[in-house]
Amino acid sequence: MEQRTYLAMRLARIAAQFRHLPRVFGLVWASSRGWSVAWVVLLALQGVVPAGQLYVVRGLVDRLGKAVVARTAVDPSHLRDMLVLAAILIATLLALEIIHGLSEWVRTVQAERLQDEITARVHERSIAADMAFYDWPEYFDLLHRARVEASYRPVALIDTLGQLFQSTISLIALGAVLVSFGPWLPAAVVACAVPALVAIVYGSYREHEWRSRATAAERRLRYYDRLLTESASAAELRLFGLGALFQGAYQELRRRLRRERLALIRAESVAEAGAGVLGLAVAGGSVGWMVWQGVKGRASLGDLALFYQAFQQGEAAVRRLLDGVGQFYANSLFLGNLFAFLDLSPRVIDPPKPLPAPAVIDSIRFRNVCFHYPGSARKALDHFDLTIPAGQIVAVVGPNGAGKSTLLKLVCRFYDPDAGSIEIDGVDLRAFRLDDLRDLITVLFQEPVRYSFTIAEAITLGRQSATISRDELESAAKAAGADEVVQRMTRGYDTLLGREVEGGVELSGGEWQRIALARAFFRNAPIILLDEPTSAMDSWAEADWMARLRSLAGRRTVVVITHRFTTAMQADVIHVLDDGRVVETGTHEELVALGGRYALSWSLQTRR
């Protein structure tokens, strides 16, 4: 009873995969409508023409057989008929070659367009996904499978759909030929391939199950590979002698995956061999029966030739059809991962009736905000209250994990708070469109992206829709101290950055940070959020940069997250965070005089 229930559950899971068929057709149609129509026509011709060729062959064999039996010269009329039939056969063979070549070209165009369509949808979903998804390990598995399989699944999918359609047409045409010899023969053709279908589908199911289990291990393999080959880890790899450790871990994991993969293939090979033997037995019985009909005089040589070729081609068509079903099942299992990724719905979304964002901002207020990151039980912010007025440079300091960077992420609405609200001029951020809100904000993140573009392009990415003004570009670079970087380059703002592109110039960490600062300033937004903006600067550059920031800020709202008290002391007001709450507030002098946590940390920093 339990075995029957288990088998029923598996069959139900297999059948459920075919629910993706409408979406698959939708993808193909959306990416290449006209090409799809041409492809279907060409496939139909490839399926029908071979069946017509069989009748031509039967006519040739019958006429030739009569001449051989009579042992006389071929009658001129029969010779003419044979030449006509031979010409028709050659013409159809040539036509099939041309049709095959055209269908391969159309298939390639379709596959390229489908790949572009799938990749575009993956990119769109990735851009729209909440930042919270990056805190969810399963998201990375879905994203990995969607990205990796988008590179080759479209071609496999086009091949599979074409194979299914063409094989179905061929089978119908050949079945019509075989049924004239015996109504049970088409069923015998199908029976030859049924064991193979079971083996293929079950093998596809097991492979999918294994790949799903192995995804995390494969991502770990790529992580070890990056550690062993990329420049970011090269120095520590050599200094600490970590090469052998990571190489050993890579090889051990690779051996485990290889063993599992080979065991899977071995089981599939045994199953397919057994299915082949069963199919061969059915085919042998059918052919033997037809030969017996010929011996008894119930079939001519042409009939035997027609039957043999029709049965052989029919069996091949059924095999292709069932193999196509198995391949479609396998592809649908993996496409299920793609559709699961595309079906991810963001929760941080635009409101139904958004309010217009203000052009000028007076304050940002955190009102009794509670927040924890997905998958974490610890609160990053706990009943957090804070008002940040415009026209001041506000510094936020505190130990690691106090919730400093979380403030920036919530203001940008990368996440929504669990409780409480964040307001701009008394209006909850969730009342604005996401794009309108984020247009108000410019940010320097703690680990800014190192864009491999020219210096000018890397800076002006901060405000793509605007007409690029050289004065604004130079002003933003000067405010960030990036003008010093530009002056050292022979090509100035046209210097290509990064080693990933040919001719690119690699910068130091501090230089990359200044380019990112310039990008943030070029955006010219009323809210400026800076996360560790001076972490890669020396003390001389730090003081100079803070003076530039003050002249740039004007009436803007500026929040500086920092561990460096030499940066914080130059702010108008300092908020000290600990355990998700503000525990001290004041100027540098006031906080030192208070003798609390800030004063203790200041004393430790200056002593060092």
Specify which of 13-22, 155-164, 267-276 reaches the highest per-range mean pLDDT.
Answer: 155-164
pLDDT interval class at 395 (50, 70, 90) = very high
Encoded amino acid at 513, one letter: Q
CA gyration radius, the chain: 36
Pairing, β 573-578 against β 381-389:
unpaired
Q: Is the pLDDT of residue 456 over 70?
A: yes
User: At which residue do the structure tokens 């081609």 appear?
Assistant: 313
For residue 431, give both structure tokens. Answer: 């009342």
Element (H, E) at 393: strand 393-397
Plot region of 354 (φ>0 → left; ψ -120 to 50 → alpha; else → beta): beta
C-alpha angle 603/604/605, rounded to 5°? 95
> Quick one: pLDDT at residue 355?
92
Tokens standing for residue 226: 């990056």
Which tokens in the block code for residue 256? 């485990």
Structure tokens at 484: 């010093």
Provide the pLDDT confidence category of residue 187 given band limits of 50, 70 and 90: low
Q: What is the pLDDT, as a whole number, of residue 375?
A: 77
Structure tokens at 520: 């943030």
Summarised one tens digit per residue, pLDDT across range 126-164 is: 888 888 887 777 777 777 777 776 666 666 777 777 777
CA angle 308–312–317, rounded 5-degree value: 145
Rounded-to-integer distance, Cα 445 and Cα 404, Å: 12
CA distance 387 to 244: 53
Domain at 363-607, CATH class: alpha beta
Q: From 53, 62, 61, select the one nearest 88 (Cα to Cα).
A: 53
> Mean pLDDT, to the nearest integer, of 7-18?
56
Q: 353 vs 542, which has greater pLDDT?
A: 353
Q: Where do the structural domains in the chain lie, given as residue ranges?
A: 18-342, 363-607
Q: Across residues 240-249, what is the average pLDDT?
A: 82
Between 47 and 260, where is the model more confident? 260
Looking at domain 18-342, does it have CATH number 2.40.10.10? no
If DSSP codes are grouped into helix, strand and coil, which group holds residue 369?
strand
Question: Is pLDDT above 60 for 207?
Answer: yes
Give tens-digit pLDDT for 285-306: 656 656 666 666 666 565 566 5
Query: Please, are residues 214 and 139 in contact by the beta-carbon 8 Å criterion?
Result: no
Q: How far apart are the first and last CA of the chain?
A: 75
195-204 average pLDDT score: 66
Q: What percent of the chain has pLDDT over 90?
A: 10
pLDDT at 371 over 50: yes
Alpha helices in 71-184 (DSSP H): 76-128, 137-149, 153-178
User: Which is higher by pLDDT, 572 or 205?
Assistant: 572
C-alpha span between 484 and 489 (Å, rounded): 9
Question: Which of 70-74, 121-125, 279-283 reaches the highest mean pLDDT?
Answer: 121-125
Which pLDDT belongs to residue 368? 93
Instruction: Supply the pLDDT for residue 67.
Output: 55
Q: How far apart are CA 518 and CA 484, in angstroms?
A: 12
- Burial of residue 474, with CB atoms counted within 10 A of its CB: 0-12 exposed, 13-18 middle, 19 or more buried: middle
Average of per-residue pLDDT values in the chain: 78
Q: Do 18-342 and 363-607 agree at the fold level?
A: no
Cα–Cα distance list, 533 to 419, 474, 551, 559, 560 (Å):
30, 19, 16, 11, 7
How far is 408 from 421, CA to CA, in rounded Å?
A: 14
Q: Could you tell me the pLDDT band of residue 308, with boundaries at 50, 70 and 90?
A: low
The predicted model gives 299-327 an average pLDDT of: 64
Task: Evaluate if pTM is beyond 0.75.
Answer: no
Distance CA 121, CA 342 (A): 7
- How many other CB atoms are found less than 10 A from the CB of residue 217? 13
Closest CA to 337 of 25, 11, 118: 118
> Of all helices (H) and strands (E), which one includes residue 315?
helix 301-342
Q: How far apart are CA 39 and CA 110, in angstroms?
A: 9
pLDDT band at 369 (very low <50, low <70, confident <90, very high): very high
pLDDT confidence tier of residue 258, bands split at 50, 70 and 90: confident
d(CA 345, CA 85): 62
Instruction: Report which DSSP code applies to 454.
Output: B
Decide if pLDDT at 70 tops 60.
no
Closest to 448 in 3D by CA, of 517, 539, 549: 517
Mean pLDDT of 405-409: 89
Predicted pLDDT at 65: 61
Supply the DSSP string of 11-33, one letter for each residue: HHHHHHGGGGHHHHHHHHHHH-H
